[in-house]
Structure 1
Amino acid sequence: MRWPRQVMSLLVVLALLVGPPVALLTVVGPPITGWPTSGQLRAWVQQPLTEQTLTAALTIGAWLIWLMLAYTVALRVLVRLRSTSALLRRLPLPTPLQATASGMAGAAVFGITTNTAAAAPEHSPQPLAAGTTTLHDDAGPGGGESHTIADADGISVADGWIPRDVAMQVSAAASLVWLRRRRNYRPGLTPGDQPGSDLAPLPRTVASVQAALADNPAPPVAPSSYAITRLHDVLPASGIALTGEGALSVGRGLLVTTLLTTQSRPTASLIISNAALISLLGPAARRLIQRLPLTIVESLDEATHHGHPAERRQHTNGPRQAEDTPGVSGHPAVVILDEKDCDGGDLTHLADLSMGTAIIVLGRWPAGPTWHAASSGHLYDPHDLTVPKLRLCVLDHVAAADLLAVITPGEPALGATAAPVEASEPVRPNPRLPRQSTRYRSHLSAADTPRQRLHLRVLGDPQLLIDGEPLTVRRSAGLQILVYLAAVHPTGADAAQLTDAIWPGLPHHALTGRLYTALSDLRTSIRDACGLHVIDHADDRYRLNPAQLAVDLWHLNAALRHATTAITPSAEVWQAVVDAYPADFAEGRAWPWLDPIRETIRRRIIDVCAASAAAEPDPDRALSLLQAGIRIDPYNAALQERANRLLHVLNDDNTDTGIGSPYRR
């Protein structure tokens, strides 16, 4: 227990702060009773070392030591208060409308229940009002657990906010990154020969968005955020200027949101000036936008030139009909300019060129309306309060760079290296375990140990089985811990690694208690069901106990190791590897840390299929092995090409012999 030690520490500090001054004032008196007279100074010069002067010097030294101690304590207290105040500032506060609604609801409840005791309803409490910031739960039956801070319309990221529809586009773009990696992977090549950034994990902001959507899949309940396709309906036709502390953050949100829209709607377009791009992204602007689908202009005249529908048609690949032109017939187009681009310029001509164009000026613009942008992303016209507030996506430099990395079609380096996957070297059966802490040691004797066997299935839908019967894991974090330790860190992971994977983007100090709660609930559920201790804790690391638990992924790794180390592996050995892979790793789950691990395991299996097909002299059998690999990864282009070439060979052979081929391309 920590509180007795904390109380004793507080008492010692108080004793050191109060005791010395009281003792000095009682025994010696105040250090200075007044300024020395001229006679006292002459006497001190003639004889400096006297009993009185030594006592005064020691007293002054004691007071100085006490002052240093008091200064140190005061400095620590100020640092603690500053960190606490910073945490409190990040806590979401209700808006005035929400506070009023809550007060009215509370008054109504107290008024109703003053004289009447009503039974509690069986259903869950009423949902909060739209826009109220809450900690959403995703736990199964038995307890709630907060994974991310989100409101009814969007998701909060570090120093920003993303509307839910934009977050879904981010998740879709992240899925496309992994699909491109699956398509471009060439089985049999070394990792250094693979194209692209291979298995590099996606940036932290993307992982946070994926985790939030996985935990809170419900659609928004109120359209308080506006998609790019609706901007021209809610903004003035002549364009607006944005000022305020959130202007640049909103500009980054518009940049990212428009580029995401172009992924699903090629008719959408973005025109941005070079000055605005540097203001939004800083020195890294040129590196980030090299392959992005946008048009960079140097002046307002050039923006007008590119904004004309005829000019847009000339810059497309092939002729485009008028109804398919961006900015015409409701197709969205966004123009982002800097205030320096509009000095003495008139945006009216640019606004009249095409319908459906939203023009945004970052900074002051005397020739047009100026709206205020709050740091939360809310926009409003300070001169016309009847216009409803809008809320757009807001991003800082880091979040914008993270999201732009997954939007880029060519997928440049994502700024991270692939984490080592310990699943490639699984623990061997019944290894020697390190000395365990007694608090987690089983209380059952050897004679009383149950004969039940635990099996963790991670290939397919993850489940923990006790003698073939599934055990309900009440918290989703508990199931993630089991799967993560089995696949990523079979030799053990510390608390920081677990929290980074399960709750990306959130501070560690806010998650330690949540992790311990999930671990305690998981241990209790397993112990109550079968009396076994599956998760060992030693040297500040958590690991699964292979003596108590069997994992299908470990059996797959053992089959792979046997096949790759055999001198002359037979077809039965390769087939055993394919049979040990019934489905994708954690199929159906959208946890953000899964994709690199899932893709690593999938590649090892299709490598087996490609290698065994290449070594197979029988073309029919080789084609069957390639088809097995295609069933595992139908997006891989290399397997498709090899299968097509083999089909051509089989078709030619069957044509020469006059036998009709059952294979069709």
Structure 2
Amino acid sequence: MRWPRQLTSLLFVLALLAGPPIVLLSVVGAPIQGWPTAAQAREWVQNPLTEQSLTAALTIAAWLVWLLLAYTVTIRVLTRLSATVSWLRRMPLPTPWQATAGGIAGAAVFGVSSHAITAPPPPPTQPVAAGTLDDAGNLTPPDDDVLADAGISVTGGWLPRDVAEQVSAAAALVWLRRRRSYRPRPPGRPSREDTDLAPLPPTVAAVQAALADPTPPPSEPGAALTDSSPLDRPTIGAAFPRAGVGLTGPGAQDAARGLLVTSLLAGRHHPAVSVIVTRPVLAGLLGPTAETLGRRLPGLAVIDNVGQAAGFFSGNHPGRGLGGRDQAHRNTQEGTDAPGPTLIVDAASATDNAETLVSLAIASAAVAVLGRWPAGQTWQVDPSGRTHHQDGSGSAGPRMCVLTQVTATDLLTVIAHPDPTPPEPRTSGPSRSPALAGRSPQWDAISQDHPVRSGNDKRRLQLRVLGEPTLLLDGHPVEIRRTAALQVLVFLAAHPDGADTRQLTEAIWPGLPRRSLTGRLYTTLSDLRAAIRSTAGVSIIEHSDDRYRLDPTGITVDLWHFRRVVRDATTTVAADATTWKAVIDACPADLAARRTWPWLDPIREATRRHVIDAHAALASASPDARQALAWLQAGIRIDPYNADLHTRAVTALITLGDHDAADVLRKGYTRRLAAAGIPPTDTDLTTATVMDQPAVPTR
């Protein structure tokens, strides 16, 4: 609790303010007792250093020091009061309807029986960014990049809550698509260099961390990814003017980028075009990446002039679906609610095609003009996204999503189609990304110097990170009070070569300014060390040259044991079934299962792929068709989204003559992808082609 400390500070300040005047007045008297006479002045000039003059000088100096202290305290108090008044002015007041509803609710509360059971208050409706709550659940003062106005502030922009949720869902789908498209291969070294294991951009990680729920998500990945509250309209929704809007002011470009990202996210589940933009405008919004990224964004139509936009509303544009009223009619018939497209143009194009744009806006398009728009409303946008009408009234409009060029590009990568020319495999040098540091080949040297586990290991502390993260002392769980402390333990377990302060803070608190995180990290580590020392009497976290690492001689880690088994399997001259079974047995569950820390995804997927490779190797090497099918089915339970495993399993079932089971497996896999929001691809449909193959008799 902070109030005892605050009370002590207040009493101390009051003592400093009241104590010196009381002492001076009671001991010395008033600082000035009238002006000196001419005789006293001549006497002081002749003999200035008398006891009386020195006492007066010291008294005046003491009063000046006290005045300086009083002035400082007064300024601090006035500053605090000014900040409080500003906060109160920004705090929204209830409308008359809200006040009436509140009065009725209060009357109902006071009118119920005294024996009524009261329910605990609901959690706050506004989302809280990562790090804004301490581990006791108390709200800490917000930093610069924290939640505001039911949205999330990140470095380089502000996103409404619904847009942030769409970004987080799209990021999760990126990893599901990577899991779907992975093709098992002969098991390799623990330090995988798969190009599709690269972490998502930092802005995406910051959004994911800000939305992270303290309670673990459902165990079924698809259940957490269904669109229970899809964003079906641009952020400004019904507030968007019927005849379009012009965007001016210092935040106009950032608001246009926000509108671009928002509309593409809203339309990613619909086949029709969701954003139409002229080529010069797209180049100004996205910069050097506009040409390449524009071709990879689904739902984006790039036009050379406004006249071409009409083709997307006439219903005869090839491959673009219907628009306008025809699209609305189709949506009504199919029971869907696809948003109309968003058209973004510059002021010059809008002036030359004013009538066309107005007609398109009436046909359900959201028209945004970068500049003044005489045919409709014009909003002035500030850098924070707040808008004001430029109709002379100066009234406030809705707050828009605003994104810088880099931030918008980061967010668009989660909905863009994969790059058809993937980058070359990374070299074996140390990774600059915290999420990739765990794949450093330095692990091999560390595991050779310190055997991570053996059957007669007598170390008392064990860290389990495969499954629910747990620290054990002699088999009994050790309480880790801070969630961030548990995350530090798992991060260091995944990075046995250690991590520095920057890597830890960027991974655990992404998106927040480092100046406010160093002290928080030290507090977290201090609390973690104290908890372990008080329980086990040892310290397992080493700190040298600003790098933190777990002491491998004082603790056993199941992930280290798993990586050691994988390394032994890949370096064995003749690997057999026993070798691959050891890999499977060493990984009983996902890394930090049910945790949603953004830095986990690359390492978790790399660990899962080793296990999938082992299942595929056992299936390929098995001489018995039914045993091979059993290994494939076990691999599907490890990753129910992998297309290659399903194709092999369907083929095996058809080979065994069980066409019904093959059809059930194929349809169940298609439904699982659809529930997660992943449309089937040609790769997924290969499971359907094998259905036409004749059954091969088996002995």
- Give the TM-score, by structure 2 length: 0.66
Quick one: distance in 1 between partners of 2:126 and 2:580? Answer: 56
Letter in 1 for 2:583: V
Inter-CA distance 100–238: structure 2 relative to 1 (3 Å threshold): closer
1:187 aligns with 2:193: no
**CA displacement 1:603-655 (0-9 Å, x = unmatched):** 11111111222222222222222222111112111222222222233329997
- Shift of residue 155, structure 1, vs aligned partner: 1.0
Work out the CA distance in 2 between the residues paired with 1:613 and 1:379: 61
* Shift in Å, 1:383: 2.4
Q: 2:476 aligns with which of 449, 469, 472?
A: 469
What SS class does the counterpart of residue 295 from structure 2 fall into? coil
Per the alignment, residue 572 of structure 2 pairs with 566
Q: Which residue of 2 aligns with 1:301?
A: 307
Q: Distance in 2 between matches of 1:484 and 1:455?
A: 15
Q: Given the alignment, which residue of 259, 263, 274 partners 1:258?
A: 263
Q: 1:263 to 1:330 in 2, by over 3 A?
A: closer
User: Could you tell me how far 1:125 is from its partner in structure 2?
Assistant: 11
| CA distance in structure 1 between the aligned counterparts of 2:508 and 2:538, rounded to whole angstroms | 25
The equivalent position to 1:485 in structure 2, one of 477, 481, 492, is: 492
* Equivalent residues of 1:142, 1:474 under 8 A apart: no
State the alpha-carbon separation in 2 of the partners of residues 341 and 513 from structure 1.
52
Q: Structure 1-normalised TM-score?
A: 0.69
Counterpart of 1:154, as a letter, is G
Query: Counterpart of 1:441?
Result: none
2:181 partner amino acid? N
Distance 2:577 2:122 in 1: 61
For residues 239 and 92 of structure 2, the distance between their equivalents in structure 1, rounded to whole angstroms, comes to: 27
Contact 2:566 2:583 in 1 (8 A): yes
Describe the SS at the equivalent of 1:343: helix
Structure 1 residue 469, shift from structure 2 partner: 2.3
Output the aligned Cα RMSD.
Answer: 4.2
Matches within 5 A, 1:246-285: 246-267=251-272, 269-285=274-290
Q: Is the 8 A contact 1:196 1:412 kept in 2?
A: no
Amino acid at match of 1:205: T
Corresponding residue for 1:431? 450
Residue in structure 1 matched with residue 684 of structure 2 by the alignment: none
Question: For residue 170 of structure 1, what is the aligned residue in structure 2?
Answer: 167
Equivalent residue, structure 2, for 1:522 = 528
Q: Structure 1, residues 267-323: CA drift from partner, whole Å, max 9, x if none?
A: 562111122212211232111111212112222222233234x345873399x8752
* 2:413 aligned partner: 405
Cα shift at 1:429: 8.0
* Cα distance, 1:411–1:462 mapped onto 2, change above 3 Å: farther
Which SS does the other structure have where 1:264 is aligned? coil
Following superposition, the deviation at residue 528 of structure 1 comes to: 1.4
Shift of 1:145: 10
Name the structure 2 match of 1:5. none
The offset of 1:506, in angstroms, is: 3.3
**3-state SS of the aligned residue for 1:372?**
strand
* Aligned partner of 1:595 among 587, 601, 606: 601
Point out where structure 2 has 5 or more consecutive residues left out of the alignment.
1-82, 95-118, 218-230, 453-457, 659-692
Aligned to 1:541: 547
Partner residue in 2 for 1:136: 132
Please show how residues 104-183 of structure 1 align to structure 2 within 5 Å.
Answer: 136-137=132-133, 139=135, 149-151=146-148, 153-183=150-180
The one-letter code matched in structure 2 to 1:486 is A
What do the CA deviations read for 1:413-445 (whole angstroms, capped 9, x no partner)?
A: 799967243477364388399xxxxxxxxxxxx
- State the 1:372 CA deviation: 0.8
Shift of 1:364: 2.0
Q: Alignment length, in residue pairs?
A: 523
Identical columns (%): 44
CA distance in 1, matches of 2:346, 2:408: 18
2:380 to 358, 363, 372: 372
Letter in 1 for 2:655: V
Secondary structure of the corresponding residue to residue 246 of structure 2: strand
**Aligned 8 A contact 1:423 1:557 in 2:** no
Specify the code of the residue in structure 1 equivalent to 2:255: V
In structure 1, the residue matched to 2:247 is 242
When residues 334 and 415 of structure 1 are mapped into structure 2, their CA distance, relative to the original with a 3 A threshold, is farther
Q: Which residue, 417, 433, 438 being the options, matches 1:421? A: 438
SS in 2 for 1:371: strand
Shift of 1:552: 1.2
Asked whether the equivalents of residues 145 and 514 of structure 1 are also in contact (C-alpha less than 8 Å), the reply is no
CA contact (8 A) 1:184 1:195 kept: no
Cα distance between partner residues in 2 of 1:656 and 1:275 = 59
599 and 432 in structure 1: CA distance in 2 versus 1, 3 angstrom threshold: closer
Superposed, 1:39-58 pairs within 5 Å as: none
Report the secondary structure of 2:493's partner residue: helix
Query: Which secondary structure state, in structure 2, belongs to the residue aligned with residue 473 of structure 1?
Result: coil
Kindly indicate whether residue 636 of structure 2 is the aligned counterpart of residue 630 of structure 1.
yes
Distance 1:125 1:528, change over 3 A: farther
Report the equivalent of 2:112.
none
Q: 1:356 to 1:232 in 2, by over 3 A?
A: farther
d(CA) in 2 for partners of 1:627, 1:132: 41
What residue in structure 2 maps to residue 359 of structure 1? 367
Q: Which residue of 2 aligns with 1:618?
A: 624
Determine the C-alpha separation between the residues in 1 that align with 2:480 and 2:448.
Answer: 25
For residues 391 and 619 of structure 1, do their structure 2 counterparts lie closer, same or farther at Cα, with a shift above 3 Å needed? same
Partner of 2:652: 646
For the Cα contact (< 8 Å) 1:626–1:639, is it kept in 2?
Answer: yes
Equivalent residue of 2:567, what SS?
helix
Amino acid at match of 1:342: A
Q: CA deviation at 1:369?
A: 2.1
CA distance in 1, matches of 2:459, 2:137: 25
Residue 382 (structure 1) aligns with? 390
**Which one-letter code corresponds to 1:201 in the other structure?**
P
User: Do 2:619 and 2:629's aligned partners in 1 also have CA atoms closer than 8 Å?
Assistant: yes
Displacement of 1:140: 5.2
d(CA) in 2 for partners of 1:548 and 1:352?
69
Which residue of the partner structure matches residue 6 of structure 1? none
Secondary structure of the 1:515 match is: helix
CA-CA distance at 1:130 after TM superposition: 6.7
Q: Tell me if 1:97 matches 2:79.
A: no
Change over 3 Å in CA distance of 1:569–1:133 after alignment to 2:
closer
C-alpha distance 125-510 of structure 1, shift in aligned 2 (>3 A):
farther
Give the deviation of 1:204 after TM superposition. Answer: 0.9
Structure-2 residue corresponding to 1:207: 205
Distance 1:143 1:621, change over 3 A: farther
**2:548 partner SS:** strand
Query: Higher mean Cα deviation, 589-598 or 491-500?
Result: 491-500
Cα distance, 1:392 vs. partner?
1.5
* CA distance, structure 2, for counterparts of residue 278 and residue 188 of structure 1: 41
C-alpha contact (below 8 Å) 1:585/1:601 kept by paired residues = yes
C-alpha distance in structure 1 between counterparts of 2:383 and 2:654, whole Å: 61
Displacement of 1:399 after TM fit? 0.4
Q: What 5-or-longer segments of structure 1 have no aligned partner?
A: 1-90, 103-122, 219-225, 434-450, 660-665
Residues 649, 183 of structure 1: CA spacing in aligned structure 2 closer, same or farther, 3 A cutoff?
Answer: same
Residue type at the aligned position of 1:137: L
Once residues 410 and 461 of structure 1 are traced to their aligned partners in structure 2, the CA distance between those partners, rounded to angstroms, is: 32
Which residue is 2:674 aligned to? none
Verify the 8 A CA contact 1:473 1:479 in the aligned structure 2: yes
Q: Does 1:585 align with 2:591?
A: yes
Q: What's the CA shift string for 1:434-492, capped at 9, x where partnerless?
A: xxxxxxxxxxxxxxxxx8811111111111122222222122221111111111x2122
My pick for the range that moved more, 506-515 or 242-251, is 506-515
Q: In the TM superposition, what is the alpha-carbon distance from 1:325 to its structure 2 partner?
A: 5.7
Q: Tell me the equivalent position of 1:80.
A: none
> Equivalent residue of 1:389, what SS?
coil
Deviates more, 1:494-503 or 1:352-361: 352-361
